[in-house]
Each structure stands twice: as C-alpha cells, then as structure tokens.
C-alpha cells in the first residue's frame, strides 16, 4: 500500500504544479473508493488492479487536466469491474464525475473474444458520450495508452487484436483530437506488436543513424540561430523526432528506402510571436532553396483539430532536403496536447461543448451513426472518417460544408437532405457542369441539380465517400428493388440469351464480363493493368474489339477524354477460370529471401508463372511474381500471406 500511496501523492503533486487550488480531497476520496472496490483484483501481470486507473490518471496530469477529470480517471473502471454502480458514484461524487465515469464505461477493455457487434455498439455509445463531454475520450485514451504499455502480459493473439484496434481506432482518434504525443506512442506500440521484426529492424537502423542526424541538426541550428539573432527573432530550433511507425508508413506508401526517408531531416522552429513565424520562414527561404509546392500555411487556415503551423521544405546544408515546421509556443503545445491544451482547471463543462463544436468530424460521426444499423457499416464508416482528411466547400449561398477528402457531389447532396441525394441528377462547380464522380476540392462552390426522374444506382455506392450517403443509397435500392428489376433495360436481352444460348466468342467466355448489359461480346483483358474479377472495370473500344481495363488504369484514364469509346463493363456470374496477376514485394534484403517467398507461395498451391528478385536500394530488395488466381479476394489473400514473410515492408500489385 505504501507504493500505491506514493502513486497517489505523485498524482496530487503533479496536479498542484499547474492547479494549486485544486480540490485534493476529491482525489483522495476517489482513490479510497476505487482501491476498496478493486482490492481483490489483480492485473495479468500480478500487480494490484488499482495501479491501472492510477497510471491513467497520472497520464492525464501530464496534459494538465482538471481535478474532476483526474478523479473520474481513478474511478473509470469501478462500474465496469466491481459492484459499484453509477448511482453510487453520483451520490458520492456528483453528476459531473458520474457522467464521465459512465461515458468511459460504455466501452470496456476489448477482450479477445468480444463480438464485432458489441465493439461497434460500445464505440457508438462512447462517441455519443464524448459529444456531451469531450473529457470522456481523453480518459479513454489515457486508459488505452497504459493498457498498450503493459500489453506484453496478454496472449499473442490478444496482443495483435488489441494493437490492431488501437492502430485503427484509438491512434486516429488521438490525431483527430490533436494529441500528437499520445498518437505517436500508440502507433509505435501497436507497430511493435503487429510487425515486431520490422519494428526492431527500423529501431536498429534509427540507432545507427542517430549520431549523424544529431550532428546535422546541430549544424542547421547554428546557422539559423545566427540569422535569427541578426533579425531579433527569439526562437527555439529543435530536431524533430522520427517515429518508427511514421517511418514504416512512408517507406510503405512512397515505396522508398529507409535512407531516403530517414535522411530527410525534420527541423521545428518555435517562436514567441506569430509574426516571427513568417519572418522565420523568410529567413529559411533566403538561406536555402525552397522546394516548389511544399509550403503549407496552417496558421492562417488551421486544421480541423486546431493544429497550426507553417510547413515548408528546402535543400539544406550539404544539398540535403530538409522539412521545416514553424509555429509559436502556444501552437506547439496544441500540436502535441490538442484539445487537452484548451482545458483550463477553472472552466466548467460548457467549455467542453465549446471546443467539441470545433471538431466537425465528431459531429458528422454522431449524425451518421444514427443512420447506420449494421455494426459492420458503422465500424467501416468510423475507420474511414477517422483516417480521412477534409475538404471545405461552399453552398451557393456561401455557407461552409465540411466533407471527407475524396467526397463527390452525391455525398454533398445527401449531406443537405436525403431527398436531394435521391434525386441528384448532376452538379455545377462554380457554374460549370461536372460528373457525379468529380472529387470535390477546397473552395469549390457546389450547386446540385435534381430531377424527379433521377434516382440512385448501384454504381453510386462505389463512388461515394461518406457512410451517410452509402447508407441512404442502399436503403433506396432495397426499398425499390422489385421496381428496378421490372424497369431493367437489359431484362429482355438477358432472357433472350438464356433462352437461345449463342455461340461463345473466340476471345471471351459468356458470363465472365457483361459489356453494356450484354454478356456475349468478345473482349480482351488489358495487359497493362491485368484486371481480375473483383476489380472495377470499363471497356475501351479499339479496332480489334473491346479491351477490358481496371477503372483506375492509367492508360484508360489517359484516353478517357474520348468518352464515346469507353463503355460500361462489369464482371458476370461465371466464377470459373484463373487470371494472371502481378505481385511486387519490397523487403529488407537478406539471404534466402526469394526462396522463403517461393516456399510460402508453393504452400498455397497456386501456379507461379514467373518469379524474380533484385536489390533496388541499399539494404532493400524487390521481389516480383506472376501468379494465377481466381479473383481479387484470392489475390488479397496471397498478398497478406506474403506480408508475413520476415523483413517484408510492403506488398502491392504490379509487374515491374
């Protein structure tokens, strides 16, 4: 108990350091109630259970949270794991703490065998509680962070499941709230359990480069300090840390080597005054050549999570590219602590509502969660919304609408009203007609054109970005299913072919691809993109017939200005046969790399038509395979198997 008492004293001392008039008796009382409720409970590590809520509370003191939040964190597990009820909490601590404890209790520690539906419903309830008081999610993030720090005591399967959920839900939530410190740690901890070999390899390479990086940062610091002193600019110049998961993501997404990613030095300049941010940028650009297109001013246009900073990139000393962030001290606090930085000890809960209103994404989640009854749809939509950037568009009357990046006019139409979405016929951007799959961009003035005769089609589901639009479209299609079958313009054609089977064309198999509603048109599969069942496809009319491309094929996109030569195509019901597909694997180079991959592929019993390997960069190898597969689902399954090969960095479709 002495150790636990010292933990409580530590929390109290941390709290008093930024809130000297805090009600310390509230913390002591919360500890007494929680320690009594948890007295017979142990964690999997064998430690007393009470250590966990105390650690969560301690994390929140690092973010200078108010005494009510700290007390609620100490109590956050009593309703979930003991006989204490919310009514008991309300009687002893009042409505405010009871609301926070109840909100956090809505989503429990996810056990290995929790049902997918239960997780979705718990998340839904937690987000609703968060809308009432943003501190609910702050307590939950502290709770999850400590659980991730002690994840080693769980079984390997439970570790991976929890790490994946953390990476998909809680790290993006921390990012959305602007809490960079928690986001980075959650990501790196999750990465260490999901890809331990890659994690340790990147950690080793980071350690080997640390001294070289420190010397370069010191050189930059000396140059800038001298220049800033000449102009009377007070600023701290810091070498930005590189987080392991961030390095992995960039290697994966950009298909670059570790050296290319890690050698891109990150410098942060923190000034006292906002005007000096712009003065500092001028000095940086005068000293070194700027890289075109890399300046972003998030000070004048803050991100939705209140992040403010100037981003730029230059060719720094010794000709090395360098990323620079410039912001004030207060902006720097917000960048790492996010919404927590806005919580002052003496403010009431109304402050929560004021700051919560700044998070348009949370309002969107609360709106569309009421539309989605399927837990799978809810989880899919939540993950999509958490990871999405945003675009700011305008109505014809000048009102701002915020939608996820990649949204199309149909998404916008449904955000106004379901009836407008259901009858969306077209859209104008700044008075110019655009197609319904046009990707909305910042500053677009959008006008929706409706028609009584217009209605949703199955293709809309593939192009919309928002869960609300997708749900509404599916609802309309289901409600009008019988009507659509009656009105299908291809019904008679299908019946005719079913009654009088035609001879199979030389270059197609009847039913494999349906072109413009007809299933027996000759076609070739394009070699450039290698379409397979499951890909979205389109046909391109050539002298030799119709060539089927993937819709995202660069060659198809480059010629799609001649729209009259592009025809609709979908895969038919015939699932027989196999298709060639190319797979590329980037991995850390080592002995027997290709041999190991071939052995794993052979175990799947697929046909391998071609295999090769080559070193493409220092320590990085690329392996390629041409295999025969059934469909996209089969291909994804094979790619996931290759991802598990030791040293694998990323796996993607391709031939070269």
Catalytic residue annotation: 80-81
Phi-psi category of residue 137: left, alpha or beta, with phi > 0 → left and psi -120 to 50 → alpha: alpha
From 45, 4, 7, 6, select the one nearest 150 (Cα to Cα).
45
DSSP state letter for 21: T
| d(C-alpha 111, C-alpha 451), whole Å | 50
Q: Are 377 and 121 contacting, i.e. CB atoms less than 8 angstroms apart?
A: no
Query: Is the dihedral angle over the CA atoms 96, 101, 102, 103 positive or is it negative?
Result: positive
Strand-strand pairing, 432-434 and 513-515: unpaired
From 234, 222, 307, 240, select the one nearest 277 (Cα to Cα).
234
Q: Are 448 and 395 contacting, i.e. CB atoms less than 8 angstroms apart?
A: no
The residues, ordered by sequence, that sit 6+ positions from 563 with a Cβ below 8 Å of its Cβ are none
Per-residue CA distances from 168 to 150, 185, 345 (Å): 19, 14, 31
Q: Are 271 and 328 contacting, i.e. CB atoms less than 8 angstroms apart?
A: yes
Q: Where are the alpha helices (DSSP H) in 417-548?
A: 418-422, 458-463, 467-479, 481-487, 491-499
Packing angle, helices 244-254 and 196-231, rounded to 10: 100
Sheet holding 579-588, edge to edge: 607-617, 620-629, 579-588, 648-653
Q: H or E element: which one contains 81?
A: helix 78-81
| d(C-alpha 235, C-alpha 233), whole Å | 6
Per-residue CA distances from 344 to 97, 350, 439 (Å): 17, 12, 40
From 433, 428, 439, 478, select the one nearest 455 (Cα to Cα).
478
From 271, 391, 401, 388, select the one nearest 325 (Cα to Cα).
271
| d(C-alpha 282, C-alpha 275), whole Å | 11
Radius of gyration of the chain (CA): 28
| d(C-alpha 656, C-alpha 654), whole Å | 6
Per-residue DSSP letters for 269-300? EEESSHHHHHHHHHHHHHHSEEPTT--EETTT
Pair of tokens at residue 614 = 């080559």
**Longest CA–CA separation in the chain, Å:** 88
DSSP state letter for 22: -
Three-state DSSP string of 101-160: HHHHHCCCCCCCCCCHHHHHHHHHHHHHHHHHCCHHHHHHHHHHHHHHHCHHHCCHHHHH
How buried is 229 (Cβ within 10 angstroms: 0-12 exposed, 13-18 middle, 19+ buried)?
Answer: exposed
Can you tell me whether residue 386 is helix, strand or coil? helix
Q: How many CA atoms lie within 13 A of 148 on its CB side?
A: 30
Beta bridge partners of 531: none
| d(C-alpha 175, C-alpha 484), whole Å | 43
């Amino acid at each position: 108990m002495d150790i636990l008492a010292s933990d409580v004293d530590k929390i109290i001392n941390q709290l008093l350091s930024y809130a000297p008039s805090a009600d310390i008796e509230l913390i002591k009382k919360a500890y007494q109630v929680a320690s009594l409720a948890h007295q017979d409970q142990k964690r999997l590590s064998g430690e007393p259970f009470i250590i966990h809520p105390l650690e969560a509370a301690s994390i929140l003191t690092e973010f200078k949270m108010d005494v009510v939040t700290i007390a609620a964190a100490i109590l956050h597990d009593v309703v979930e794991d003991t006989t204490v009820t919310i009514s008991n909490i309300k009687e002893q601590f009042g409505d405010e703490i009871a609301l926070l404890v109840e909100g956090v209790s809505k989503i429990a520690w996810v056990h290995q065998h929790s049902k997918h539906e239960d997780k979705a419903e718990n998340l839904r309830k937690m987000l609703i509680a968060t809308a009432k008081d943003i501190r609910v999610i702050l307590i939950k993030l502290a709770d999850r962070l400590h659980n991730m720090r002690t994840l080693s005591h769980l079984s390997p399967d439970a570790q991976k499941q929890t790490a994946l959920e953390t990476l998909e839900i809680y790290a993006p939530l921390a990012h959305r709230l602007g809490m960079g410190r928690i986001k980075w740690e959650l990501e790196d901890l999750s990465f260490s359990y999901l890809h331990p070999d890659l994690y340790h390899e990147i950690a080793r390479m980071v350690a080997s480069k640390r001294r070289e990086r420190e010397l370069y940062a010191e050189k930059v610091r000396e140059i800038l300090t001298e220049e800033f002193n000449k102009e009377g600019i007070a600023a701290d110049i810091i070498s930005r840390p590189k987080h392991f998961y961030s390095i992995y993501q960039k290697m994966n997404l950009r298909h670059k080597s570790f050296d290319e990613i890690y050698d891109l030095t990150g410098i942060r300049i923190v000034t006292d005054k906002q005007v000096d941010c712009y003065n500092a940028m001028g000095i940086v650009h005068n000293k070194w050549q700027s890289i075109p297109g890399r300046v972003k001013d998030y000070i004048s246009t803050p991100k939705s999570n209140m992040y403010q900073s100037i981003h730029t990139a230059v060719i720094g000393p010794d000709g090395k590219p360098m990323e620079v962030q410039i912001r004030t001290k207060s902006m720097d606090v917000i960048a790492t602590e996010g919404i927590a930085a806005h919580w002052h000890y003496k403010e009431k809960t109304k402050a929560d509502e004021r700051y919560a209103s700044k998070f348009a994404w949370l309002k969107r989640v609360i709106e569309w969660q009421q539309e989605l009854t399927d837990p799978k749809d809810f989880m899919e939509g939540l993950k999509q919304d958490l990871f999405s950037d945003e675009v700011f568009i305008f109505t014809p009357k000048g009102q701002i609408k915020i939608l996820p990046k990649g949204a199309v006019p149909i998404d916008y139409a449904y955000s106004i009203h379901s009836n407008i979405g259901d009858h969306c016929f077209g859209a104008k951007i700044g008075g110019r007609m655009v197609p319904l799959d046009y990707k909305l961009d910042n500053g677009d003035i959008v006008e929706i054109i409706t028609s009584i005769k217009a209605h949703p089609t199955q293709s809309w589901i593939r192009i919309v970005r928002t869960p609300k639009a997708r749900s509404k479209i599916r609802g309309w299609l289901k409600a009008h299913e019988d009507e659509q079958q009656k009105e299908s313009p291809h019904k008679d054609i299908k019946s005719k072919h079913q009654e009088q089977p035609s001879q199979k064309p030389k270059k197609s198999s009847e039913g494999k691809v349906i072109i413009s509603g007809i299933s027996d048109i000759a076609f070739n599969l394009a070699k450039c993109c290698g379409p397979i069942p499951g890909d979205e496809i389109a046909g391109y009319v050539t002298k030799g017939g119709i060539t089927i491309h993937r819709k995202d094929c660069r060659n198809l996109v480059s010629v799609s200005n001649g729209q009259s030569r592009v025809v609709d195509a979908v895969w038919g019901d015939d699932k027989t046969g196999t298709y060639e597909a190319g797979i590329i694997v980037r991995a850390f180079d080592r002995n027997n790399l290709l041999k190991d991959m071939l052995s794993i592929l052979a175990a799947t019993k697929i046909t391998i038509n071609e295999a090769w390997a080559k070193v493409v960069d220092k320590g990085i190898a690329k392996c390629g395979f041409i295999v025969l597969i059934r469909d996209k689902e089969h291909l994804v399954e094979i790619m996931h198997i290759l991802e598990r090969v030791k040293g694998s960095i990323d796996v993607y479709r391709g031939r070269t």
